[in-house]
Amino acid sequence: MEQRIILASQSPRRRELLTLAGITYEIEPSDVEEVITKKTPWDVVMELAIQKAKDVADRHCKEQVVVIGADTIVAYQGEILGKPRSEKDALDMLMRLQGSVHQVYTGVSILCPCKNDQRTFVEKTEVEFYPMTEKEIMDYVSTGDCMDKAGAYGIQTSFCVHVKQIHGDYNNVVGLPVARLYQELKKMDLL
């Protein structure tokens, strides 16, 4: 049975992935003040995904809706790398990531307020970059593409030439493990 689905995100990448999957949805971004109480990357993304989904679901508590909240982070050697605060921050992040392997985690929370049903999961993808010169990194940072992305890069942009390999779901790195989400929605009888 198809439900009214609300994506609690403004991310153009998440919107594009849901559209590609053939999922009909509405957009209602969460404006919750994110509070992080966890330490490990997978716990952090689950916590933030739940907060976002709950924020939007609370606005629709008596309606037949499904709310999807998601959060993506990059982790390198156990340290969480969020969105860069400046070009220097982006440059520093990419200098650390070049020539090495890091992890991308996306937490997804599916909340059905009327049914009091919630499922949350985490998807992990390992990404390895080729070695890069400082000039290559500076050229990419100067495009501004890195500023709204965890880890300071977009795998689906011109930065793709620096990605040596990935292990796991490519779409997870883009911002939403849409195949896993689709399967979870099917299990919940929501598609």
What residues are labeled active site? 71
The dihedrals phi and psi of 189, each to the nearest 5 degrees, come to: 60, 40
What would the two tokens of residue 80 be? 């969480």
**What is the token pair recorded at 30?**
């969460």
Short-list 39, 106, 110, 30, CA closest to 68: 110
Specify the DSSP class assigned to residue 144. S
As a whole number of angstroms, the distance between CA 99 and CA 146 comes to 18
- Angle at which helix 12-20 crosses helix 178-187, to 10 degrees, equals 60
Q: Tokens in use for 117? A: 């049903």
Helix (H) or strand (E) holding 152: none
